[in-house]
Amino acid sequence: MNRNIGSIVVYALIGLAVFGFISFLITDTLGLLQFLFISLLIGAAIFGLVYFLFLRRRTPNELRKYRKAVKQSKQKYKYQHQTNRTQPSPIKQNITTKKSTRPLKTRKNHTHLRVIEGNKQKKKNRASL
């Protein structure tokens, strides 16, 4: 019975809100639009403050480790790339001496990523099935 009374109160409040909105729309349309615009601005400002003060700094630990690995590997490969330019290029050997003319295989894994943590100590014991 309490559930029935609660739902009646909620429906009555929703009905009053719809009635008030329609009457406000008919009598003062410009005031309604101004009120909605100001409400949106205040809501966006509150959301922005909450996001920048609390939510933005809470990055997951794994994401932080990934970003650190990407940064380190970019620095590493950028350094190697710059040093290769300053060194004189070696004399190229004759490519036609190779018997097979297959194209070189490209690497499928990303060279700019590096594993920071791993469980290398743990090995599978396949004999104990």
Q: What is the pLDDT of residues 67-124, one digit of tens each?
A: 888 888 888 887 555 555 555 555 555 555 555 556 666 556 666 766 677 666 666 6
Q: According to the model, what pLDDT value does residue 86 have?
A: 54
Residue 29 to residues 32, 42, 53, 109: CA-CA distances in angstroms? 5, 20, 36, 60
Is pTM beyond 0.75? Reply is no
Burial of residue 18 (number of CB atoms within 10 Å: 0-12, 13-18, 19+)? exposed
Token digits of residue 126 = 């396949």
Residue 73 to residues 39, 107, 111: CA-CA distances in angstroms? 47, 16, 8
Q: According to the model, what pLDDT value does residue 103 have?
A: 61
pLDDT at 7 over 80: yes
Q: What are phi and psi of 9, to 5 degrees?
A: -65, -40
Q: pLDDT by residue (tens digit) across 18-72? A: 999 999 999 999 999 999 999 999 999 999 998 888 777 665 777 788 888 888 8
Q: According to the model, what pLDDT value does residue 107 have?
A: 57
Q: According to the model, what pLDDT value does residue 46 have?
A: 95
pLDDT at 8 over 80: yes
Which of the four pLDDT bands, split at 50, 70 and 90, describes residue 3? confident
More confident: 97 or 2: 2
